Chains A and B, each alone.
Chain A
Amino acid sequence: MTATESSAVKATTGVPFTLNGQELHAEEGELLIEACDKNGVHIPRFCYHKRMESVGMCRMCIVEVDTGRGPALQPSCMLTVTPEMKVETESEATKDAQDGVLELLLANHPLDCPVCDKGGECPLQDNAFAYGPGESRFVEEKRHFEKPIPISDLVKLDRERCILCDRCTRFASDVAGDSLIHFIDRGSSTQVNTFPDHPFASYYSGNTVQICPVGALTAAPYRFKARPWDLTGSPSTATVDSSGSRVLVQSSQDKVVRIQGVDSDAVNWGWLSDKERFIYEANVSEDRILQPMRRAVDGSLEPMRWNDALKQTSEALGKKAAAIGGARLTLEAQHVWQKVLADEFSVVSYDASLGDDVSADVVDSLPKATYDWAFNAGSVVVVVGQDLKEILPSIYLRLRGVVKDGSVELVEFNYKSGSLAKLARKSVQSRPGELAKDVKQAFTATPGERSSDLNCLVDTDKPLTVIFSRPNVAESADYLTEALQVIQSVRPDAHFLPAFRRGNTVGAQLAGLTPGVREVATEDEIIVEQVAVVGRPTAEILQEAANGEVETLLLLGADPISDFPDKALAEAALDAVNTVIAVDCFENPSVASANVILPVAMYGEVNGHFVNSEGRLSPLGARVTAPGLVRSDLEIAASLAKTAPQSNSDAQSSLETSHMLGSEPIAWDLLELSSEGARIKTPTKPIQRVKADVPTVADGLRLVIGNKLWDQGTIVENSRTLAGLCETFKVRINPADADRFGLTAGAEIVVKNAKATASVPFITDSSVAEGVLWAPANVRGFDPRSFVTFSESVCYVEVSAGEQK
């Protein structure tokens, strides 16, 4: 055996033990099952999972162990290796035990394999085949339960198939913190179930389907869509948010049918949010636009040819044009779009983010952290902004893990306490306009006047990472920027991790598709000391458009009417421009006013690269063929360059570069190798100083518009199963405020300010800060942006009791 063939490099130090007669070494405190794995000895298992605590439920991993008192059968997932332990994994006694465990597990397991989604990739099948008795001696009737019961909108449970391994329940309570499924009853009727009327409504329910070692848990979107042997997969990266979770996109018959989490040590540890897991359903939605469309005089859409569509687009871009969106494209497409817009069509106004996130320029100047850096034992994490669970759900699980086991201290600053508030060292509730002030207070107060819980922020040499997101689109973004500056000045050693809602925002920054001052890379030198101002913020673009100074607006997968903080301005802008060109796959409120729609390929249909929040570059895999006449963003941009009126040689050469991009990620030169792998180099330019307005003080509550994982985003709306998960609009108010304004639970309340008046449902919620009215963005029923005046830095509303129902 050569060195590369050997499954592991055998350790020569550590705890000595004997495995099947071989003298080996294990790490201090290592579980026997892990030590065996490392040394290439496979022990069958069901309940053991590397990312969860062992419970020893299934007894499949029993092996013969002699610790000096004679051999005994012991579960290897519950046993740490001790010096001079002698382990036999292939002895007669071990085989007998494995045989017995399997026979009993199968005694009540139905013969469902042909109709079971897991059949063909099932650990129970595999283990029964490799270690089982081969024949059943049971003639008795098996245990029966009602066949699959829906435990949530996404997951079905077949209790007959369950082998009670405790993986799903352990995941729900220990990893996700949503203890909504449990074992109930005793003896042979033990079963997994939910509480009555409390479905397993977790953002992470799909993970239980993936880790269930049998087919007891099945996912509604995948059920019966394919069998494991007709799936083919491509490694890829989830793009619904900026976490960069590694996934395997699996297809059958050229349709994406399943997405599985990949256990990537540096990123998502195998876990995915349900949004990342089930997002592929929209690819086959009936409403998907499959050919270029133009708007006829009567407002209806009619098909057109690509050549005409490109010609029209190219003509329109030749006039005074601006572009919005592009944060969800591949890095390659972002790069080429930027080149085509700026170099071919001399468009100077473009912005990939939609003015509802942290400004790219702020992020650019901060020293970045990786997840591993942030969640390393002994560090401190400060979350400024929204609940991570709503915006980076898969990374939230990692944060939750380290906060729960006490290895990382957490301090939050927000307007509505996050899901980890109870576990946090301190959860500081702030109010719009006061975030920077409260952060400053916490970081600069003298030891006497600050709570001892905040000592972990200063006077300590523990590494500090700030995970930040735009906390509220109804207030000026400057408060967050100022808060970050405060932290940076008090703790110059602090690292920062942006939590962008849109997937490839960092990629867009690298490609120069977001506005700001940028270092420019040239051909001969990687990065030169040269800076250029590129792009223009969405707010300015829309304002100009509304003033009639823009003739053409290009929407690169953007829906400003639903997302831009000032809806009225977005509408006015789309109304005022001559031509709206939408590069999109569905009709959404903004695309509805497009004159030309260029249908574009979706997730799983394009190759490329993705840059996550940390700046980690990972590949996107094209698993299936784009349907209809759909083209990829890269193709569209490249063909536009050809039709451009004045062809610019610089841009041509950059287009040529882009053709090699499949194998050569453009950002390679911007990467550096850190101890946690490749990541984007931290820029050296200084942070721009921002001094936010002092908020005016007025009566009433300050409006906060925050995000929920499930909203009416275009892709979610067009996914059959996911569309139903978006909640209906209700506002949340602290109980003290409800008392103060005499609001009774169950009734609607009247919310009003100078811009709008509305009667909306409300609930009291003590996690909301006092003096704040918390409203979800872009959900069904009502749009809270109708209260916002964009030029005011804080938005006030008055509330009063509504009509009693």
Chain B
Amino acid sequence: MGYLAGFPITLKKWFEGVTTKNYRAGKGGKSDVKAPKPDRLHGRHVLNRYEDGLEKCIGCELCAGVCPAKCIYVRGADNNPTDPTSPGERFGFVYEINYLRCIHCDLCVEACPTEAITESKLFEFSFEDRKSAIYTKNELLVDEDGKPQQLPWEDWREGEDKATSGWMRATAPSGDSNYVGKVAWSGELGYGVRQPESVELTIKPKSGDSK
């Protein structure tokens, strides 16, 4: 008899409805509609350009140095003075992120001195081999209009790229007290210049901190 004792539980659960959330649309949502994402969701990266089209990355390897998963590989090289890739002497000659290892912590974004590397909200991408899991400059760099490239194996929807650009460093650019407690953006090809935004600080800066 004992082995039949489980059946009532099975039957009861049958009528209780599904608790598993639909991956995209939330509980009970339609399967081809994506659920809204939180503002600060960390998706796959992009490498940004300035409004004049020059690349922002200067190949400094700070992102690679800080990455806890050690998944970024950068090599710098001398800019050609007559046809520079980025402003200044040095540009990111090789840039690779291995998405099999990236934990989307965004420490690279925090470390970047030029806001070259930022994350989009896109996390609907998949790959079948290791090689395509390693995004190189070819994939990461925004296109000529400053928009992220939409790769065949990524699921981009209308308007989704808007939320892509520079998620912010919540700290003020050093030395400028106007931006304490605000998120500052620099001009970016494709998205223009955005006004600084206030952020809520749980710890208010002391007046002395912003000398």
Contacts and interface: CB of A to CB of B under 8 A. Distances in A.
Interface string B66-99: 0000000000111000000000111000000000
B58 A227 contact: no
A29 B59 CA distance: 48
Interface string A27-44: 000000000000000000
B211 A227 contact: no
A148 B175 contact: no
The majority secondary structure among interface residues of chain B is loop
A229 B90 CA distance: 18
A230 B61 contact: yes
Interface in B35-74: 58-62, 64-65
The majority secondary structure among interface residues of chain A is loop
A135 interface: yes
B174 interface: yes
Contacts of B90: 115, 224
Given A224-B76, A224-B78, A119 B60 contact: yes
A147 B90 CA distance: 12
B113 interface: yes
Interface residues of B, number: 18
Contacts of A136: 174-175
Interface in A96-123: 113-115, 119-120
A28 to B, nearest CB: 47
A229 B65 contact: yes
A223 interface: yes
B47 to A, nearest CB: 15
A135 B65 contact: no
A125 to B, nearest CB: 13
Given A147-B89, A227-B65, A135 B113 contact: no
Interface string B163-174: 000000000001
B186 interface: no
A114 B89 contact: no
Contact of A135 (B59, B60, B77, B174): B174
Contacts of A223: 78
Contacts of B22: none
Contacts of B114: 114
Contact of A224 (B64, B77, B174, B211): B77
A135 B89 contact: no
B78 A115 contact: no
Nearest to A230: B61
B59 A224 contact: yes
A148 B89 contact: yes
A488 B196 CA distance: 84
A259 to B, nearest CB: 20
A254 to B, nearest CB: 13
B60 A115 contact: yes
Nearest to A227: B61
Nearest to B176: A139
A229 B63 CA distance: 12
A135 B114 CA distance: 20
Contacts of A137: 211
Interface in B75-131: 76-78, 88-90, 113-114
Contact of A227 (B60, B77, B88, B175): B60
A419 B88 CA distance: 41
Interface string A210-229: 00000000000001100101
A119 B88 CA distance: 16
A114 B60 contact: yes
Interface in A125-159: 135-137, 139, 147-148
Interface in A392-426: none
B175 A114 contact: no
Contact of A115 (B64, B65, B89, B174): B89
Contacts of B65: 120, 227, 229-230
A136 B177 CA distance: 12
B61 A135 contact: no
Given A135-B211, A224-B90, A114 B62 contact: yes
Nearest to B87: A115
Contacts of A227: 60-61, 65
B112 to A, nearest CB: 9
Contacts of A113: 113
Which of B89, B90, B113: most chain A Cβ within 10 A?
B89
B100 to A, nearest CB: 19
A106 B77 CA distance: 26
Contacts of A230: 61, 64-65
B90 to A, nearest CB: 4
Nearest to A114: B60
A115 to B, nearest CB: 4
Given A147-B89, A148-B89, A227-B65, A114 B58 contact: yes
Nearest to B66: A229
A96 B93 CA distance: 43
Contacts of B61: 227, 229-230
Contacts of A148: 89
Contacts of B58: 114-115
Contacts of A114: 58, 60, 62, 113-114
Contacts of B60: 114-115, 119, 227
Given A114-B62, A115-B60, A135 B78 contact: no
A764 B174 CA distance: 61
B76 to A, nearest CB: 4
A119 B211 CA distance: 26
Contacts of B88: 115, 147
Contacts of A224: 59, 76-78, 89-90
B60 to A, nearest CB: 4
Nearest to B61: A227
Contacts of B62: 114
Nearest to B58: A115
A121 to B, nearest CB: 13
A15 B114 CA distance: 54
A98 B48 CA distance: 39
A230 B60 CA distance: 12
Contacts of B59: 115, 224
Which of B65, B76, B78: most chain A Cβ within 10 A?
B76
A623 B95 CA distance: 25
B75 to A, nearest CB: 8
Interface in B116-159: none
A129 to B, nearest CB: 13
A135 B175 contact: yes
A114 B90 CA distance: 9
A533 to B, nearest CB: 55
A227 B76 CA distance: 9
A139 B175 CA distance: 9
Which of B60, B62, B78, B88: most chain A Cβ within 10 A?
B60
A724 to B, nearest CB: 17
A227 B59 CA distance: 10
A113 B175 CA distance: 17
Which of A120, A135, A139, A224: most chain B Cβ within 10 A?
A224
B136 to A, nearest CB: 16
Which of A113, A115, A227: most chain B Cβ within 10 A?
A115
Contacts of A115: 58-60, 76, 88-90
A113 B62 CA distance: 10
A114 B114 CA distance: 9
Given A115-B60, A227-B65, A229-B65, 14 more contacts: A114-B58, A114-B62, A115-B58, A115-B76, A135-B174, A135-B175, A147-B88, A224-B59, A224-B76, A224-B89, A224-B90, A227-B60, A230-B61, A230-B64
17 contacts: A113-B113, A114-B58, A114-B62, A114-B113, A115-B89, A119-B60, A135-B174, A135-B211, A136-B174, A136-B175, A137-B211, A147-B89, A148-B89, A224-B59, A224-B89, A230-B64, A230-B65
A-B residue pairs, 10 tightest by C-beta: A114-B60, A224-B76, A115-B90, A227-B61, A114-B113, A229-B65, A115-B58, A224-B90, A136-B175, A115-B89
